[in-house]
Structure 1
Amino acid sequence: MDHEAGDDIYYNNSEGEYNDDSSQASEEDEMDNNDAQVNNDAQLDNIDAQLDNDDQVDNDAHVNKRGLTRLTKWRAKFEKSGGKKWPITFDALGRVDGVHRPKFSSFLGDIARSEVGLRYLKWKEVPKDDKNKMWALIQQLFEIDDCRRGPIMVRLGGLRRSFRTKMFKRHVRPNLARPTVLEKVPKMYHTIVKKEHWDRFVAHSKSDEFKVVSKSAKEVLAQYVYDHTMGRGGYPYLREKLVQNKEIAADDCPSRAFIWRKGRVNKEGEYKMPVVKGVADDIAENEAKINAGSVNVEPGTDALTLVLGKERGG
């Protein structure tokens, strides 16, 4: 099964309800256990792409404040639309799809930063009241059922972690030898990051605990060398682009191997790294052999499995 960190949000809930204290505990604890704020630069490319896009200055309004200002803009857009909530739809796998998916993804990023941001060192420290507030903000603007809440909360935790990663990479790590710079909250985040939270974040980033967790996270991330180029939209967005470009039909079910390869090329159809191209070529070769019948595989095994293994698709 393919696993792309942060790409697709799965919202299946077999119980049809949400229990913030139990049903999501294991996922949130795992999120906290891997909550280092430093990664290798290659792994941060996709995180930066999403956060940079969400932090774009609104040229029409000529403002450069984040967070609170952006939430105000969301409400203004909502009122301009006649106060009608944007419906969020899901595909057969429980992933967000439809025309409002980019809007929804961007909004989640905004509230993760403005409502949580650097306020808490771990996601499980976030009070239930704060999580309830974030869910209320979502339901004010989007038409989405309560049964989808649990996985969305996990997604918000991931976005909060990505924001902290970006803050460390761009504003803490380059200034570790310049303590006077670290005494001030980065200018563009004054509206959403309080001085006390910034100071605690900086202190934590210098701690031995942080260094140990960061080292462990780097070792894990070193295994994931096949970075994709799909951005925050993930596979659903890639599929839409393939349909628009007439590379597949709307009702086609392309193979995992095909989608994996397409998700790792740039606009020119080239792979960023030779190692990725080599793996992609191996996958394509194995898929051709399977289709030709020259290689026999068991049910549930495909070219992606043959090359990358059963538990690691990305």
Structure 2
Amino acid sequence: MENTDDRLPIFFNEHGQWNGPPNFATLIGEITRSKIGLGYAKLKEVPLEDKEDVWNSVQNMYQVITINKKYVLAKENSAWRTEKSNKKRSLNDVTSVEEKKRKLPAYNKKEDWGKFINNISDPKWLKKFEQAAEARSNVKAQYTGGRKGVPTRWNELEKESPTGQIYRPDVFLKTHRATPDDDPSSSKSQAAAKLASSSIFILFIDIDDELVKEAYDKDPSAQKCLGTDAVTEIYGTDQKGYIRGMGAGISKSQFLAAEFMKAKLLEVRNELRKVRKKNEALKAQLDAERQKNGTGVHGQIYDSSYQQGIGIPSSFCLCCLRNFRKKVVALAYVDMKLLIDEQYDCMIEEVIDPTAMLCDRDDDVVLGNVKRSEFVKWPKAYDVTWSC
């Protein structure tokens, strides 16, 4: 059946940041401004139906799967706060509360505008505004990612990297610039000077200097850890609740969990690559023997090579086992000649998702309880043959 859905698909990375057209964020901002008024002090006060209205409007224009709904709502929160900040900034030259209330912007309800003015005139909020202004003035590295943003730049750098791996300092230097102030002895100016003179900074502005590269490669493992990379060395340890230079909405625990899963996935892919290469080498050997000795002895050579090289019968094929959501949860050797009740006998080779349920055991038994080379039954509909 032909797919007639003309909505543009939106994808999110493992950190929960969207990677796609810049107008996606613009659209969320426009919808949020039209659906949610400024009269609420915090987004948690906004009725749930208004938030759902924003989500439904986004889904009408873009293909966003439900599992990414929380990320869209987080962007909605950011857009709503930005709109309030912009409106407050436009009133900086107005001192009287009553005069501020008279400056009602277009497409804003008078009731919501009045509540908004009362909120920003509250002494408690005025103190927060002053603290925020002071924090912005102390920024040591100004964000310069532009409309692309950190996720897109991260994706671009991964494609450009020969190894396909990059770390936080790589992205930080592509999306930030040093911001010294008038006092050269201040910590802000010193950090800016240190960044500008650091080997990693010079390397990434394409100055070909072997000494610089040698300094950069002196301790490459340090760049993999948030606590020892160049950003931490220059700007200090990240404060609680965020990671410097990685964009909004990423906590340290979330980032580390995503990096751990990426490492495990890379490990599994490497193992798969080794298995495939081994199978290809065996097949090449068998084909060479068949051409040399004739097809009559092919079966005998195949069985012998397979048993010696892998240790399983020739009727078994390497397969991916999927769950009911079509997600790959394990690798197994499957006896393709033995199909009983639409199920295969599968010898587990590698478990990818230890929490996946088994269809032939009790409810509390998962793949994590199955040992390597142990047999399980798996439905034919959820087997995908890779090498046979």
Q: Partner amino acid for 2:123?
A: D
Change (3 A) 1:250 1:297: closer
Aligned pair count reads 218
Note if 1:305 corresponds to 2:232: yes
Tell me which residue corresponds to 1:202.
Answer: 117
Tell me which residue corresponds to 1:174.
Answer: 93
Tell me how far 1:134 sits from its aligned partner: 0.9
Task: Quote the Cα distance in structure 1 between the aligned partners of 2:220 and 2:103.
Answer: 61
Alignment of 1:85-124 (within 5 A): 85-98=7-20, 101-124=21-44
Deviations 1:95-127 (A, max 9, x none): 3123xx312111111112111141322101001
Asked whether the equivalents of residues 123 and 157 of structure 1 are also in contact (C-alpha less than 8 Å), the reply is yes
Tell me which residue corresponds to 2:296.
Answer: none
Q: Partner amino acid for 2:141?
A: Y
Task: Quote the Cα distance in structure 2 between the aligned partners of 1:294 and 1:106.
Answer: 41
Q: Percent identity?
A: 22
Tell me how far 1:227 sits from its aligned partner: 1.5
Asked whether the equivalents of residues 8 and 63 of structure 2 are also in contact (C-alpha less than 8 Å), the reply is yes
Change (3 A) 1:177 1:128: closer
Note if 1:183 corresponds to 2:108: no
Deviations 1:200-236 (A, max 9, x none): 2122222212222223434544553322111343113
Asked whether the equivalents of residues 290 and 303 of structure 1 are also in contact (C-alpha less than 8 Å), the reply is no
Q: Partner amino acid for 2:234?
A: V
Unaligned runs of 5+ in 1: 1-81, 266-270
The structure 2 residue matched to 1:280, chosen from 187, 195, 198, is 195
Tell me how far 1:92 sits from its aligned partner: 4.3
Asked whether the equivalents of residues 32 and 80 of structure 2 are also in contact (C-alpha less than 8 Å), the reply is yes
Secondary structure of residue in 2 paired with 1:227:
strand
Tell me how far 1:148 sits from its aligned partner: 1.0
Change (3 A) 1:208 1:85: same
Task: Quote the Cα distance in structure 1 between the aligned partners of 2:223 and 2:54.
Answer: 45
Change (3 A) 1:197 1:283: farther
Deviations 1:231-252 (A, max 9, x none): 3431134357779xx9x45874
CA RMSD of aligned residues (A): 3.4
Asked whether the equivalents of residues 116 and 126 of structure 1 are also in contact (C-alpha less than 8 Å), the reply is yes
Tell me which residue corresponds to 1:17.
Answer: none
Task: Quote the Cα distance in structure 1 between the aligned partners of 2:229 and 2:145.
Answer: 22
Tell me which residue corresponds to 2:58.
Answer: 138
Asked whether the equivalents of residues 145 and 176 of structure 2 are also in contact (C-alpha less than 8 Å), the reply is yes
TM-score (norm 2): 0.48
Q: Partner amino acid for 1:197?
A: D
Unaligned runs of 5+ in 2: 182-188, 204-211, 246-388
Secondary structure of residue in 1 paired with 2:53:
helix
Secondary structure of residue in 1 paired with 2:148:
helix
Tell me how far 1:280 sits from its aligned partner: 2.2
Quick check: which one's strand share is greater? Answer: 2
The structure 2 residue matched to 1:291, chosen from 216, 229, 243, is 216
Secondary structure of residue in 2 paired with 1:173:
coil
TM-score (norm 1): 0.59
Deviation above 6 Å: which 4+ runs of structure 1? 240-243
Task: Quote the Cα distance in structure 2 between the aligned partners of 1:228 and 1:135.
Answer: 28
